[in-house]
Structure 1
Amino acid sequence: MMADSVPAGVGRQVFSKYLWFTLFASGVVILDQLTKMLVLRYLPLHNSVAVIPGFFSLTHVRNPGGAFGFLAQNDSPLRHWLFLLAAVFALGMILYLYHQTPRSRPFFGFALALIFGGAIGNLIDRLRFGEVVDFLDVYVGYLHWPTFNMADSAVTVGVIIFLLHLVTKKVPL
């Protein structure tokens, strides 16, 4: 009886919505983990290779803290659990928001997939190493942006898209 009340194609549309989310998020995780694997294999810790002198280098560092090194100096074992719990909470919130996102907002869904994939990429590092592998080093002279990775980039782009949608009121939240 329930199958009769569901219009043809609705199940396929729901499957398709989650398939795209999974593909984009998985792509972020794969790209993130692949680039980190290359850094771990070919660039010793604390070494740097200038790609564009005076602007961009590949620099292998580890970040035990959060974004921009938040709590990196705190050696408490609680820091590790705090970041793991925060990641799991954030992942749950992203899934909830995605579930609530109508199919008519695919760009917003894409933003959530980027954030989700980036969060998973960094969560994998925290579970494997207790810290995050960073290697993208942008700077001008002596002014350095905090070193980051592909997961951080995906989260940043996703958050920018998310905020643009909120500001332009394109997403009913």
Structure 2
Amino acid sequence: MKKNKLTISIISITIILTILLLDQILKIWIKTHFAIGDEIKITNFFYLHFIENEGMAFGMSFFDKKYLTLFRIVASIGIAYYIYKSIKNNSEQLFIISLSLIFAGAVGNIIDSLFYGQIFTESTLFSNATWTPWGQGYAPIFYGKVVDMLYFPLISGIYWSWIPIVGGTSFTFFAPVFNIADASITIGVILILVYEIFFSPSSKKIQ
């Protein structure tokens, strides 16, 4: 039992550190080499396209930036505690891995919000950001912008003319631009749903 706890602890920590490292390396490279709107075409359906947002995953925004950052911090502390309890209670590995992905993604975007405004100059349509001494950046602490760059325009077309409101206009699927942290959160949530449906104690009772 102790061996199982040690193994899943190592897996959880490895997932978290790997996601954070990849997320921040890519964000910092984009931030310091791209102007807003710059993009590199990787394939016909995958681009690195630099935007910044002040909201939640995939550019959504519902709260003042400071409160959103505080909410993320509190939520991340709660998730970290839940991971600890789940490992201690020998919960299913899939469930712990899911929580680890969500935690890593949340912390990845918290880093942007807390620190990027302190250590980078402003990214503009005409110039990339540069490193700056602590506190001389473009925004106060809590108000840094989240860096997004992953863009997958899988399908593009025009809505049929007979469709109300949007008929005749163009569309792109998948339009949102996101980052590795967002993807980590999304994958974690999907895996939790898979766990709840197929592997949780309640689902086994139903079966």
Whether these two folds match at TM > 0.5 is yes
Asked whether the 8 Å contact 1:108–1:171 carries over to 2, the reply is: no
C-alpha displacement of 1:28:
0.6
Cα pair distance change 1:158/1:52, threshold 3 Å = same
CA distance in 1, matches of 2:195, 2:182: 20
* Greater alpha carbon shift after TM alignment, 26-35 vs 83-92: 83-92
CA offsets, 1:91-147, max 9 Å, x none?
A: 122123223324351111111111111111111011123111000011122414210
Among 75, 95, 107, the residue aligned to 1:108: 95
The answer for the alignment partner of 1:99 in structure 2 is: 84
Q: Number of matched residues? A: 157
Pair 1:69-2:99 in alignment: no
CA distance in 2, matches of 1:23, 1:171: 27
The answer for the alignment partner of 2:28 in structure 1 is: 37
The one-letter amino acid paired with 1:61 is I
> Percent identity of the aligned residues?
28
* Greater alpha carbon shift after TM alignment, 91-100 vs 110-119: 91-100
CA distance in 2, matches of 1:146, 1:36: 17
The answer for the alignment partner of 2:48 in structure 1 is: 58
C-alpha displacement of 1:157:
0.7
The alignment's C-alpha RMSD in Å is 2.2
Asked whether the 8 Å contact 2:59–2:177 carries over to 1, the reply is: no
C-alpha displacement of 1:167:
2.1
Correspondences of 1:4-153 after superposition (within 5 Å): 10=2, 14-53=5-44, 55-71=45-61, 79-101=64-86, 102-129=89-116, 130-139=144-153, 140-141=155-156, 142-143=171-172, 144-153=174-183
C-alpha displacement of 1:16:
4.5
Among 145, 154, 157, the residue aligned to 2:187: 157
Cα pair distance change 1:97/1:24, threshold 3 Å = same
Larger radius of gyration: 2
The answer for the alignment partner of 1:6 in structure 2 is: none
CA offsets, 1:2-48, max 9 Å, x none?
A: xxxxxxx74x6545443332221111100100111221233222111
Gaps of 5+ in 1: 1-8, 73-77
Cα pair distance change 1:108/1:171, threshold 3 Å = farther
Q: TM-score, normalised by structure 1?
A: 0.79
CA distance in 1, matches of 2:96, 2:200: 12
Q: TM-score, normalised by structure 2?
A: 0.67
CA distance in 2, matches of 1:116, 1:67: 13
The one-letter amino acid paired with 1:168 is F
